Amino acid sequence: MRLGWFRPVHCKSMEAQETRAMLTARDLLKQKLRDIEMTLRGTLRGFGLKIGETTPVRFAARVKDLVAGHSTLETIAASLLAAHSVLLREFKAMEKRVLSMARHSSRARLLMSTPGVGAVISLTFVSAIDDPKRFKSSKNVGAHYGMTPKKYQSGETDISGRISKAGDKRVRRALYQAAHIILTKPVKGSGLKSWAMQLAKRVGMQKAKVALARKLAVIMHRMLVDEKKFEFAAKAA
């Protein structure tokens, strides 16, 4: 400390911490809902009963129809479906709060002009970046969140490995989801998809999604710095 061999740590603002806490609670509710649904599917499958494709609204009715007449399964289903109903209600309420936060955040609305970026992804990125000026260059954002390949250099050896996966994995997952949406859904007016599809022909779809996610991190940070919406006419460099 006396010699100054340290790096300053950025303390997130109260707004960023509150947003992250809200997103964490939302993810927890979503995961518990999925756990209950998968438990019910696995339990019924052991008795030769398949729930199949359904919707959150029709899920409970489908389970009740399948377990009708089987006392043990009816008891299990009644207990798990009661918990599922409460979790679903709270998740919907939390989803509304998150959407309201995105509507009232000018920076989140700005990022939502980017293809593949919705309320959750924009809030995740905004709360993680917090202060865009703390990055000297937008190119550093990709490395900060572990989306650049590892390097091993020794003598004549120069090996590029997989991405480092350093930093906040939630941001990395959100950016990857945005890249996945761009490459799998019809997106018009953006050079990002054509750039990533050309890259996918050489290195594969998986690596192309990672590269596109890293590019999105750079673009979205620059949008926050310049306070400008996504330019659909611009071509991917």
Nearest to 177 by CA among 140, 201, 210, 148: 210
| Amino acid of residue 182 | I
Mean pLDDT over 17-32 rounds to 96
CB 111 within 8 A of CB 187: no
The amino acid at 83: A
Q: What is the mean pLDDT of the chain?
A: 91
Q: Running DSSP on this structure, what letter comes out for residue 134?
A: G
pLDDT at 141: 94
Residue 8 CB neighbours (<10 A)? 6
In the chain, where the domains are located = 14-104, 108-226
Q: For residues 109 and 99, what is the distance between their CA atoms, to the nearest angstrom?
A: 11
* Segment 123-152, tens digit of pLDDT: 999 999 999 999 999 999 999 999 988 877
**Choice between 6 and 102, residue whose per-residue pLDDT is larger:** 102
Q: Which residues of 154-168 are buried (b: 16+ CB within 10 A; e: fewer)?
A: eeeeeeeeebeeebb
pLDDT digits (tens, 9 = 90+) for 55-92: 988 999 999 999 999 999 999 999 999 999 999 999 99
0.85 exceeded by pTM: yes
- Would you say residue 236 has pLDDT above 70? no
- Residue 10 corresponds to which amino acid? H
Q: 180: closest CA among 95, 230, 116, 235? A: 116
- The answer to whether 183 and 200 have CB atoms below 8 angstroms apart is yes
Question: What pLDDT shows up at residue 8?
Answer: 78
User: Which tops the pLDDT comparison, 1 or 163?
Assistant: 163
